Structure 1
Amino acid sequence: MKKILITGGAGFVGRRFCKRFLDQGAEVHCVDPVAEFTGGIHPDKGWPLFNPKDYPNFHFYQQDCRAWFKQHRDDDFDYVFHLAAMVGGRAMIENHPLAVADDLSIDAEYWQWAEKAKPAKTACFSSSAAYPIGRQRAEGYELLKEDMIAFDDDIGMPDMSYGWAKLTCEYLARLAYEKHGLKSACYRPFSGYGEDQDDSYPFPSICKRAMAHVGEDTLTVWGTGDQMRDFIYIEDCVDGVLATIDKIDDGDALNLSTGIYTSFKQFARIAAEVCGYEPEVVGLSDKPAGVFARGGDTTKQKEYGFEYQVSFRDGIQKAIDLYRSAK
């Protein structure tokens, strides 16, 4: 039986990893304080798509992972999925940058714990926010390749304190391998989405807004609505990690992306079409928008044997079907 640790396991991404390994019969240890603004859900409240307490192999610790690290020195974890972070939607990143900076402490204490506990492999979750914002501007943008971040050269300016924290975690992963032989892979997910995501993120909020305004002439989105993202379904992200984690040992980074730019106006139009109407989509310029265009090159993913499967339209359909059934 595999023994798995998932920090931040009660969050959107962590819940998906929990289910995959619980279904496989692994011993899953989920650590999460269920902090405000992070989208974490306590298992006692029931998780949207399954109940983890139905599994005898599920172990939950409602703790800040830093406190958990001080109390546990288990040296037999086969995999650690280090997801713990102070992060929410764009409003969280822009309006609470010092809270997000707490991720520096979370990651530092993880690697200090790992040096002693020596897990067989770590999946370290970075972010597309680590990429230089200079390559994501309206006047000049391009699909982001892993080698655009070079720690021995120019790493560029990442996106806010969240981007800086994720860059630091990647750097620590490389040092952990070079100095202590700790094996890990660093993943840079782009705009992951799914039907059980917290409403503070754009995906559920836009889908639900489209549902709430069926038949109306206009539909609004944050920012100008022209800003573009690379939306990848959460189960594709999980597949990508599980397909590649045993192929990377040295803390090297890998995108989780589709390579497709979709503007928020396009997104809203698709959601409205799925709901059966065709409104004019209007941007709200007073709302946070972030960078203009963020998309991930898929060349390296394909070399490692991973390609996304779920189209964005199909992902939107899945979510709206679930929201309708819940109502």
Structure 2
Amino acid sequence: MASLPFELRGKTVYVAGHRGMVGSALVRRLAAEHVELLTTPRNEVDLRDQAAVNAWFATRRPQAVFLAAAKVGGIVANNTLRAEFLYDNLAIASNVIHAAHVHGAEKLMFLGSSCIYPKLAPQPLREDSMLTGPLEPTNEPYAIAKIAGFKMVEAYRSQYGADFINVMPTNLYGRGDNYHPEYSHVVAALIRRFHEAKVAGAKEVAVWGTGTPRREFLYVDDLADACIHLMKNYSDSELVNIGTGEDITIAEFARVVAATVGYTGEIGFDASRPDGTPRKLLDVSRLAKLGWRASTKLEDGIRLAYQAYLSEIREPAEC
């Protein structure tokens, strides 16, 4: 059993995926922990390249690893780029987890995604719901890759005694999101759509799907804080959900975003677009027992996310 708390101060800490929304939030949060931060720009180390990853770990030997790197996107990206989502995420997870073990990392955190729970699992989603039913077809390749990462962490912990842990974030939003018009997640997509409609004076904005699915949304800087808390205070084979414990319909959420952006036109729904899973709310009781709860209210977080969008407007990079 690993000793707790696991102290980060003074350690070399690697954030894999530091330029993504989650990774950059972890970097911001780690600034208060007085660590020696390690990062790997994609043009220097391709995490899909086993030899390159192994060589980097052999040289730098991080003591703690946050594995936040992933090929990510919204429902259209997941359903369109199925081969890339499966291959890239399998390769990243297997390469980084194995290299961390081989080169003596003291602790590793692997970040999954709540979309890998079964499509019709009982709500709210408990950690033991994983692999209890069929996956949502539109994101099955991504889900399978992430499940493999979870199982790798469990296996290395069981066979080698590695202090590796799994966490399961809910839907995320905030600074550093991807605003691609087709491949973004719902929060970024709606912020961009309502902003552009406001600027253009459009009379109506079409939201994808029927508006009836329910979703939980967590501000990304809250996620980073939860990850630091768990890295310090948790060591077990069971994964931990990270969320708010509250959800909202997509229709209601769209109205929140529209109000924040200042769009006053009509909101319609394009039922020809897929809805995805009917509901996705995490049971966060395990996280609460470990002493952490989200602190950013949805309206406040959306306001911060919109401010970030206004400062970050640019051609979206590949996520």
Normalising to structure 2: TM-score of the pair? 0.84
Mark the CA change 1:322 to 1:174 in structure 2 (over 3 Å): closer, same or farther: closer
C-alpha distance 280-142 of structure 1, shift in aligned 2 (>3 A): farther
Report what 2:127 is aligned to. 146
Q: 1:64 corresponds to which residue?
A: 47
1:1-327 matched pairs, under 5 angstroms: 1-22=10-31, 24-33=33-42, 61-64=44-47, 66-72=50-56, 73-74=58-59, 76-102=61-87, 103-135=89-121, 142-149=123-130, 155-159=132-136, 160-199=140-179, 200-214=184-198, 217-276=203-262, 278-324=264-310
Aligned partners of 2:59 and 2:159: how far apart in 1? 21
How many angstroms does 1:67 deviate by?
A: 4.1
> Does the Cα contact within 8 Å between 1:170 and 1:251 map onto a contact in 2?
no
- 8 Å CA contact 1:219, 1:280 repeated in 2: yes
| Residue 13 of structure 1: how far off its partner (Å) | 0.8
Give the match for residue 3 of structure 2. Answer: none
Q: TM-score, normalised by structure 1?
A: 0.82
Q: CA RMSD in A?
A: 2.2
Contact 1:17 1:238 in 2 (8 A): yes
Among the aligned pairs, what percent are the same residue? 23
User: Higher relative contact order at CA 8 Å, sep ≥6: structure 1 or structure 2?
Assistant: 2
Distance in structure 1 (CA, Å) of the matches to 2:209 and 2:168: 24
Task: Give the Cα separation in 2 of the matches to 1:202 and 1:146.
Answer: 24
The number of residue pairs the alignment matches comes to: 292
Rate the CA distance shift 1:275–1:284 in 2: closer, same or farther, 3 A: same
What corresponds to 2:317 in structure 1? none
> Closer, same or farther in 2 for the Cα pair 1:258/1:174, shift >3 Å?
same
Q: Secondary structure at the match of 1:251?
A: coil
Gaps of 5+ in 1: 35-60, 136-140
Structure 1 Cα separation of the partners of residues 245 and 266 of structure 2: 26
Q: 1:324 to 1:110 in 2, by over 3 A?
A: closer
Unaligned runs of 5+ in 2: 1-9, 314-319
Partners of 1:7 and 1:84 within 8 A in 2: yes
CA contact (8 A) 1:126 1:189 kept: yes
Mark the CA change 1:74 to 1:161 in structure 2 (over 3 Å): closer, same or farther: same
Q: Alignment partner of 1:172: what SS?
A: helix
CA drift at 1:297: 1.1
Q: Is 2:176–2:308's contact at 8 Å kept on the other side of the alignment?
A: no
Aligned mates of 1:173, 1:326 — CA distance in 2: 35
Query: Hey, what's the Cα distance between the residues in 2 that align with 1:68 and 1:105?
Result: 12
